[in-house]
Structure 1
Amino acid sequence: MTAPLPPKPPARPDKVSLLRYLRLFRDDILSAQPAKLYRAWMAEFRTPFFRSFLLNQPDLIQTVLKERPDDFPKSGRVSEGLRPLLGNSVFLTNGETWKRQRRIIDPAFEGGRLKDTFPAMWAASEAAVGRLAQAGETVEIEEVTSHAAADVIFRTLFSIPIEHEVAAQVFARFRAYQRAQPILNIAAFVPLPRWMPRFHSRETRANAAKIRGLIAHLTAERMKAITAGAAPDDLATKIMTTADPETGERFDTDEMVDQVAIFFLAGHETSASALAWTLYLMALYPEWQERLAQEAEQLGAGEPGFAVMSKLRLSRDVFREALRLYPPVPMMVRQASCPERFRDRDIPNGAQLVLSPWHLHRHERLWDNPDGFDPTRWQTENGKTCQRTAYMPFSAGPRVCTGAGFAMVEGPLILSMLLRRFRFERIEGRDPVPVAHLTVRAKDGIWLRVMPRN
């Protein structure tokens, strides 16, 4: 058997002038990152337009995300790039507005809710297997995983499959939006005056408006069902009927549209990205693929209970390793709300602080074999330490992704279901190149050869 190829590390130019950096940044933020940033604890970027600081030192990241999050709110400049779709969602807000939104949303994901949503995840996984069986031998995997992740979201949120007319339209429009919108646009770094138009293409605005209109229709219909006492017990119903324990207020229909938009973005786009890169890694490492396929036989025939997830340990470790190498959200930006001093450098009020899973997860001074694919690392002392201090695919602290536990069930489950039925093989000359759209995707898609087992 031919030895598997290690995943190629991202492009890392040795030296990047400001002009070249801005040119590379315009084309793709990931390609602009020089090699030294994967070794640095902190780096400063200074231009006539902005000052920003990349933080890789674990204790500084802990200060910003966990110890003093109110002093480092989400950057308002970054939100400009996502505002047309997400409105005033929990992903973009800060302060008391954000705290109120989380008080209403968090109960929907607590306790036994994962167990309650498991049948919907299982049904979506079976549907994904059925679609892939009809897809042919050469397959663009990101399309497959996007379809599967969107199906999970609609089944768990609104109790409808992706084939539902409105769900299908949302999915189609979102695919177009995803490809047209970078994760960070120029508004994230250039302090434009309020009266100046923001840099959103006509296509971006049109797709965002259509998506929000479709979500508004679903939300209004659910509100009617709740009023009539006929609503299913799913995530949408739970969120829409939960009152803020401090004020007694609930989300109105307009607020719910904002929140559903981010649930779809965070729960569909990120899961699809992570699952697609995991399948690519399985094609590169067939011995791991076979181990997971064998483990997946424990799923048995018919729908198992939620407890079966405890048996998918290898699948979970592989998915966790894929999240390390290809974190769906490569960079997060916070803003200093007061003057600060980190590593003997003055951080001025208003400076942008970049917290980058993309750099942190491959940091040469933190991880053993940082660019290598090694799911066994999570059982080592280095892996356990880094998981606590240098691993944040879902962010960290009070703003950690509400659906993190949800994703760590969905990803390994769909992965196991697919590997149980299919073998995924690399196509010579078509290795994917990671780029940042709304999440880390492949420049020209992830193309794999898919063969049925048995």
Structure 2
Amino acid sequence: MTPPKPQPRADKVSLLRYLKLFRQDLLSAQPARLYRAWMAEFRTPFFRSFLINQPDLIHTVLRKRPEDFPKSGRISEGLRPLLGNSVFLTNGETWKRQRRIIDPAFEGGRLKDTFPAMLAAADACVERLRPHVGKQIEVEEQTSHAAADVIFRTLFSVPIDHAIASKVFEKFRNYQREQPLLNLAAFVPLPKWMPRFHSRTTRRNAEDIRNLITDLTHERAEAIKAGTAPDDLATKIMTTADPETGQFFEPEEMVDQVAIFFLAGHETSASALAWTLYLLALYPEWQERIADEAAALDDPTFASVSKLKISRDVFREALRLYPPVPMMVREATCPHQFRNRDVPKRSQIVISPWHLHRHERLWDNPDGFDPTRWNSENGKTCQREAYIPFSAGPRVCTGAGFAMVEGPLILSMLVRNFKFETISGKTPVPVAHLTVRSRDGIWLRLVER
């Protein structure tokens, strides 16, 4: 049995037809040949884009010469209402300054400090699910709740049922479904003064979320002044000065950063966990192996994380098959040549974890679910050269280590307490919203273990 993936289009289509398909679903709009191609070119009247799957080209763009290929401003247009000038969207010196302030909060030692909050969120998720035993549940909703709980507990030391936290979560769920990956500005070079065609609902939800986050950051700033602030991620970031300038984040900047922490840390983790639970329901023998291994959590300390090896491999495989961020876009700042083809200045360089992770010329059994692959020679090679669920190079996700503790931990806690079973006629179809989700949700039957 092969895990589900969108049926790629096999024929050529007009630009207008492609844009319509793209807006409906980025994944199924792409041609089947991208799962074998090293590079593909796409032209519009306004710009040229190149999708690259060749590992050495990806290495050049992300690791070797990242300043020649900054984040594309076209993609940021769709996220600007919520994220402002967060570290996810900025480039150059602004981005470097933001990372110098943010990175210390996610250094190795901090993972141990945040573990109790993650464990508490996992326990809370188990208790929320208990009343649903014997029923069909939509697991994306549950994993979204759990991931949001982790973010608020680790960032602001408050659970998801905190008044402001619960409002942010509710508003963000509306924003996630309403907001497409791209809007018109991603395809047409609009001048700065022209409206960006975000829907009224999108703008209102983004404004409401930012206002709520502003309240949280102002409360924390006052607690820091009073010396009563907890030692969590928000306090760490707000009290860390740029080592080169001595400056701290301004209040508005902190709102931008919290918005991206919530988007990146909640939305991506929720997607990855939901697809992992579906894969475990599809392959129950792996579910049993994780349940046995989860006995390690009898030790409720950070040391238990190192014992969740099967859970980690399964989670890693889910990130391969269903990378939460399916495509990343960079922009060439000067002319280049890729595979003896001219790449003009301002070309859009598309790196697609979705296609790279399933590339037929790189991976053994690319569409199959096989957590043992990470111990094979092919798996080890591909993990180094063709596996980028958190991006790579200087712009690798700051919270990658955080996610690789959170995911296996929550997964192990859930499988230790429950069994998840597939439901006939409810096979999920992956589509791209802000992250890779299922078109009609991921429905599973919850059974008491």
* Residue equivalent to 2:151: 153
Q: Report if aligned partners of 2:4, 2:430 keep a CA contact under 8 Å in 1.
A: no
- Corresponding position: 1:125 with 2:113: no
Deviations 1:345-398 (A, max 9, x none): 111111100010010000000000000000000000000000000000000000
Q: Report if aligned partners of 2:5, 2:429 keep a CA contact under 8 Å in 1.
A: no
Q: CA deviation at 1:195?
A: 2.6
Deviations 1:381-440 (A, max 9, x none): 000000000000000000000000000000000000000000000000101111111100
Deviations 1:61-83 (A, max 9, x none): 01000011011000011111000
* Residue equivalent to 1:452: 448
Q: CA deviation at 1:21?
A: 2.1
* Residue equivalent to 2:4: 8
Q: Report if aligned partners of 1:140, 1:446 keep a CA contact under 8 Å in 2.
A: yes
1:196 to 194, 197, 202: 194
CA distance in 2 between counterparts of 1:205 and 1:194 reads 17
- Corresponding position: 1:47 with 2:61: no
CA distance in 1 between counterparts of 2:46 and 2:25 reads 20
CA distance in 2 between counterparts of 1:396 and 1:298 reads 31
TM-score by length of 1: 0.97
Q: How does 1:255-334 map to 2 (within 5 A)?
A: 255-300=253-298, 304-334=300-330
State the number of aligned residues. Answer: 447
CA distance in 2 between counterparts of 1:110 and 1:100 reads 17
CA distance in 1 between counterparts of 2:155 and 2:404 reads 17
- Corresponding position: 1:26 with 2:49: no
CA distance in 2 between counterparts of 1:193 and 1:245 reads 36
Q: Report if aligned partners of 1:6, 1:284 keep a CA contact under 8 Å in 2.
A: no
* Residue equivalent to 2:56: 59
Deviations 1:280-320 (A, max 9, x none): 001100111111111112212xx611010111000000000
- Corresponding position: 1:228 with 2:226: yes
Q: CA deviation at 1:196?
A: 2.0
- Determine helix, strand or coil for the equivalent of 1:112: helix
After TM superposition, the structure 1 stretch with the greater mean CA deviation from structure 2, 160-169 or 27-36, is: 27-36
TM-score by length of 2: 0.98
CA distance in 2 between counterparts of 1:119 and 1:241 reads 22
**Letter of the 2:379 counterpart:** G
CA distance in 2 between counterparts of 1:135 and 1:231 reads 37
**Letter of the 1:96 counterpart:** E
Q: CA deviation at 1:86?
A: 0.2
Q: CA deviation at 1:27?
A: 1.1
CA distance in 2 between counterparts of 1:199 and 1:108 reads 36
Gaps of 5+ in 2: none
Q: CA deviation at 1:14?
A: 1.6
Identity of aligned residues (%): 77
Deviations 1:148-200 (A, max 9, x none): 00000000000000000000000000000000011222322221222321120
Q: CA deviation at 1:144?
A: 0.2
Q: Report if aligned partners of 2:101, 2:241 keep a CA contact under 8 Å in 1.
A: yes
Deviations 1:228-272 (A, max 9, x none): 111000000000000000000000211100000000000000000
2:429 to 409, 425, 433: 433
* Residue equivalent to 2:75: 78
CA distance in 2 between counterparts of 1:318 and 1:185 reads 34
1:409 to 399, 405, 408: 405
**Letter of the 1:208 counterpart:** A
1:163 to 161, 164, 167: 161
Q: CA RMSD in A?
A: 0.9
**Letter of the 2:283 counterpart:** Y
Q: Which runs of structure 1 show a deviation greater than 4 angstroms over 4 or more consecutive aligned residues? A: none
